[in-house]
């Protein structure tokens, strides 16, 4: 219960929750960019639905952040009124959507991560985070079923689809290490049984991703370069551009509801 | 392939539990009243049928209505909450609040058997029971138009988050399947 938390814990849970909201809203927006741009109608609907799941997930986290903050900042504030330096999403979420293969490969890597992450978050001692995780994991299982199937189709499809899928894997791989990094806040939350120790997810994630990539006859890259910084607010140049587009209506008409 | 009607029980445990809650409630007239509130996207289903209405309670003099969202991003929830308010207000109730509950998470096993029958008549294949089927892929989905089991998935997602798009290979008609989660 929020009312039982001391001020310090409340601030920590607030920051942790905002991060989870940031991850969801950023990837949700990236997927939503496919709306009316997807390769065919059914895929357009599917991507829009997945985007909606993520934006709904962001609303649950930001809604909880609103309750924790209890200072007048509403869910819309967290999504629309913060600059890129204040966003703390993982970098993999903000990468531009690229071509369809890039979008589906990123989705696979993120879906497998979310699967293991949410499985742990369900046992959070924080009731609200546990409830959100229980809701979100059902959707993630469904997302994964689809991203898995698409990566197989791309990897085992034409020469062109295979080349593009492999290029996507190679280009994104260096951003996956950040998923298993733990900073001070995350360590504190994991120790308190509120958050997840992401390092413990890496083995399962690697095994699952490798088996799917091999099934798709794609090559698992060697670990070489690694990028991180999202949790500290250091982003790629793409996030600022994305937020500019995502936030412009709200910033031009603050407080507008529709 | 086995027809699902031959092997599956019709009522899920999750639904039975919700039904018991309704039958044992002292506020039967409120549950009955809220049968008027329907899903804005599938108007044949009441929020009772859908499993969205989970609890009706009284705290002191205040009515507390609990609803649970189907999908995280389901845009129907705001409309449903507004419709509950209108129905209660029109019936003369003023002291009430609507609570959105996330846990336990909504699942299709919460739907009423009547609701599933209505879906079928409406042309949407109803969800299979989760307790019988893990991923919805071990049984064929029955075509709501001709009853054939010879059907295929066209897309995992249909016109709304809760539906997938299928096609009948006998009558060729495409149809929505209310996917089980
Ligand atoms: Zn048919």
| pLDDT digit string, tens, across residues B46-71 | 999 999 999 999 999 999 999 999 98
- Strands lying side by side in the sheet with B96-100: B53-59, B62-67, B96-100
Give the residue carrying structure tokens 């360590």.
A187
Q: Is A258 contained in some domain?
A: no
What is the rounded average pLDDT of the residues B102-121? 92
How much is the pLDDT for B4? 46
What is the rounded average pLDDT of the residues B143-170? 89
Residue B8 has pLDDT above 90, yes or no: no
Instruction: Determine the distance separating the centroid of ligand 1 and the alpha carbon of B167, expressed in angstroms.
Output: 8
Which value, in Å, is the radius of gyration of the alpha carbons in chain A? Answer: 18
- Residues of chain A with pLDDT below 50 are none
Q: Which residue of A has its CA nearest to B158?
A: A45
| Overall domain count for chain A | 1
The full DSSP string for A148-202 is HHHHHHHHTS-HHHHHHHHHHHHHHHTTSGGGG---HHHHHHHHTTSS--GGGGH
Residue B134 has pLDDT above 60, yes or no: no
Q: Tell me how far apart the alpha carbons of residues B100 and A101 are, in angstroms, rounded to a whole number.
A: 37
What is the rounded average pLDDT of the residues B103-125? 93
Helices (H) and strands (E) in chain B, counts: 6, 7
Please report, for the domain that includes residue A233, its CATH number: 1.20.1260.10
How much is the pLDDT for A2? 81
Q: Tell me how far apart the alpha carbons of residues A49 and A39 are, in angstroms, rounded to a whole number.
A: 15
Full residue range of the structural domain in which residue A111 is found: 2-219+228-252
What is the least distance, in Å, from the CA of B109 to any CA of chain A?
13
Residue B173 has pLDDT above 90, yes or no: yes
**Coil, strand or helix at A145:** helix
How much is the pLDDT for B73? 81
Q: Is A97 contained in some domain?
A: yes
How much is the pLDDT for A188? 97
ipTM of the shown complex: 0.74
What is the least distance, in Å, from the CA of A56 to any CA of chain B?
4
Q: Is A46 contained in some domain?
A: yes
Q: Which residue of A has its CA nearest to B74?
A: A56
A50, A51, A138 member nearest B181 (Cβ): A138
What is the least distance, in Å, from the CA of B127 to any CA of chain A?
15
A52, A60, A146 member nearest B102 (Cβ): A60
B104, B106, B157 member nearest A45 (Cβ): B157
Q: Is A257 contained in some domain?
A: no
Report CB contact under 8 Å: A55, B73: yes
Which domains does chain B possess?
Answer: 13-110 (3.30.300.130), 112-178 (no CATH)
Report CB contact under 8 Å: A52, B71: yes
Q: Is A185 contained in some domain?
A: yes
Residue B138 has pLDDT above 70, yes or no: no
Report CB contact under 8 Å: B72, A56: yes
């Amino acid at each position: 219960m929020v009312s039982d938390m001391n001020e310090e814990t409340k601030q920590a849970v607030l920051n942790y929750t905002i991060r989870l909201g940031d991850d969801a809203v950023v990837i949700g927006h990236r997927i939503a960019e496919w709306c009316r741009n997807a390769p065919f109608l059914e895929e357009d609907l599917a991507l829009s639905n997945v985007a909606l799941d993520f934006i709904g997930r962001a609303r649950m986290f930001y809604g909880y952040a609103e309750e924790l903050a209890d200072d007048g900042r509403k869910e819309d504030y967290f999504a629309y009124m913060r600059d890129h330096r204040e966003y703390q999403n993982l970098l993999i979420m903000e990468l531009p959507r690229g071509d369809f293969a890039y979008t589906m490969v990123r989705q696979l890597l993120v879906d497998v991560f979310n699967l293991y992450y949410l499985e742990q978050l369900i046992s959070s001692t924080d009731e609200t985070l546990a409830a959100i995780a229980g809701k979100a994991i059902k959707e993630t299982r469904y997302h994964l079923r689809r991203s898995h199937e698409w990566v197989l189709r791309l990897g085992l499809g034409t020469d062109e689809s295979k080349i593009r899928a492999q290029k996507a894997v190679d280009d994104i791989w260096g951003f996956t290490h950040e998923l298993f990094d733990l900073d001070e806040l995350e360590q504190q939350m994991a120790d308190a049984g509120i958050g997840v120790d992401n390092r413990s997810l890496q083995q399962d994630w690697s095994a699952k991703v490798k088996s799917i990539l091999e099934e798709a006859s794609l090559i698992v890259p060697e670990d070489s370069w690694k990028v991180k910084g999202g949790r500290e607010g250091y982003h790629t140049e793409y996030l600022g551009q994305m937020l500019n587009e995502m936030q412009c209506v709200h910033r031009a008409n603050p407080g507008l509801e529709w | 392939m086995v027809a699902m009607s031959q092997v599956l029980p019709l009522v899920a445990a999750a639904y039975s539990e919700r039904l018991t809650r309704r039958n044992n409630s002292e506020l039967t007239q409120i549950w009955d009243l809220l049968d008027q509130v329907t899903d804005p996207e599938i108007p044949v289903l009441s929020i009772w049928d859908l499993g969205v209405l989970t609890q009706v309670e009284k705290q002191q003099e205040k009515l507390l209505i609990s609803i649970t969202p189907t999908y995280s991003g389901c845009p129907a929830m705001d409309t449903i909450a507004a419709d509950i308010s209108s129905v209660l207000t029109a019936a003369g109730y003023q002291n009430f609040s609507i609570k959105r509950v996330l846990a336990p998470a909504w699942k299709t096993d919460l739907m009423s058997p009547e609701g599933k029958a209505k879906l079928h008549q409406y042309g949407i294949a109803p969800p299979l029971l989760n307790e019988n089927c893990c991923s919805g892929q071990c049984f064929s989905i029955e075509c709501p138009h001709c009853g054939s089991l010879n059907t295929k998935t066209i897309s995992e997602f249909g016109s709304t988050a809760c539906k997938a798009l299928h096609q009948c290979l006998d009558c060729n008609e495409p149809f929505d399947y209310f996917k089980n989660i």
